Amino acid sequence: MHLKHFCIALPFICATVKLQSQDSSVIPQKPADKKEEADHKMNFIKLNLTGIALKNYAIQYERVLSKPVSLSLSYRIMPTSKLPFAGTISNSIGDDDPEAKKTIENLRMSNFAITPELRFYLGKGYGKGFYIALFYRYASFTIDHLPVDYDNNTSLDLSGKLTSNTGGIMFGAQWNLGKHFCLDWWLFGPHYGSGTGNFTGVSSQPLTPAQQDELRSNLEDIDIPLTTKTISVNANGASLKLSGPWGGIRSGVLLGIRF
């Protein structure tokens, strides 16, 4: 190309380069929130530390879906054992009520619960800051050696299971501890719903009509507010069915890893 031709073409070359530069500046870039999301760990596995003292062992998996929203699933289990702090409760009763003391010492129970949860983070998000959560809980409790007295301190041991379905709201906060750990504080989580139970006891020997009447009367005297009781007694033993409202409060401190 001659110099004259090059000088004529130079303005067009410069215009073309400038246009290409402008075009490249408007090429869609990766959204800022996508980049921010990539900088955060989106999975959490946590252990409930406060439940251990009550012989309840609970873990929670949480998955962050977006900056303000996450889903989690908790599983709790209590192996068959005495009531938590049974010794302390028994000592506080002393010798004033030997039957109550005997019940506390002999009672055995276990339970498990499954709790899915939807969280809404109010501040920093991506699994940290204050949050409000909606949750559902299914829980099952197994109880053994629940004595009911009759006929001069003779007792019939009832055993059975109680299940509940509840829904609630949780207020809490979660913080990162370094690059790989987190702390989750369940501040206050009331929940309410319904529960049903079925407990039976078999006598080691046939019950007389008088013993059956006394056993039935003692079962009717069990006071559980707002609960419907269905009682059945015969020569072989007794059964007690319960249905009514059920509720509780979730709270605790969880330590976890994030990845």
DSSP string, 161-228: EEEEEEEEEEEEEEEEETTTEEEEEEEEEEEEEEEEEEEEEE-SSPPPHHHHHHHHHHHHT---TT-E
Q: Sort strands 154-177 and 228-234 into parallel, antiparallel or unpaired.
A: unpaired
Q: Which of 40-44, 97-101, 123-127 has the lowest mean pLDDT?
A: 97-101
Alpha carbons 45 and 49: distance in angstroms, whole number: 13
Q: Phi and psi (nearest 5°) for 167?
A: -135, 150
Average pLDDT over residues 211-234: 93
pLDDT of residue 91: 77
Over residues 15-59, the pLDDT tens digits come to 443 434 444 344 454 554 555 566 689 999 999 999 998 899 999
Percent of the chain with pLDDT over 90: 67
Using the predicted structure, report yes or no on whether residue 232 has a pLDDT greater than 50.
yes
pLDDT category, 144, cuts 50, 70, 90? very high
pLDDT of residue 39: 67
pLDDT of residue 105: 81
pLDDT of residue 38: 60
Over residues 179-212, the pLDDT tens digits come to 999 999 999 999 999 999 999 999 999 999 999 9
Using the predicted structure, report yes or no on whether residue 153 has a pLDDT greater than 80.
no
Cα end-to-end span (Å), the chain: 61
pLDDT of residue 98: 72
For 38-56, letters b (16+ CB in 10 Å) and e give eeeebebebbbeebeeebb
pLDDT of residue 175: 97
Domain 38-199+245-258 has CATH 2.40.160: yes
Over residues 53-92, the pLDDT tens digits come to 889 999 999 999 999 999 999 999 999 998 877 777 777 7
Q: What is the pTM of this model?
A: 0.80
pLDDT of residue 11: 46
* DSSP annotation of 2: -
Using the predicted structure, report yes or no on whether residue 112 has a pLDDT greater than 90.
yes
Taking all residues of the chain, what is their mean pLDDT, rounded to a whole number?
A: 86
Which sequence spans correspond to the domains of the chain? 38-199+245-258
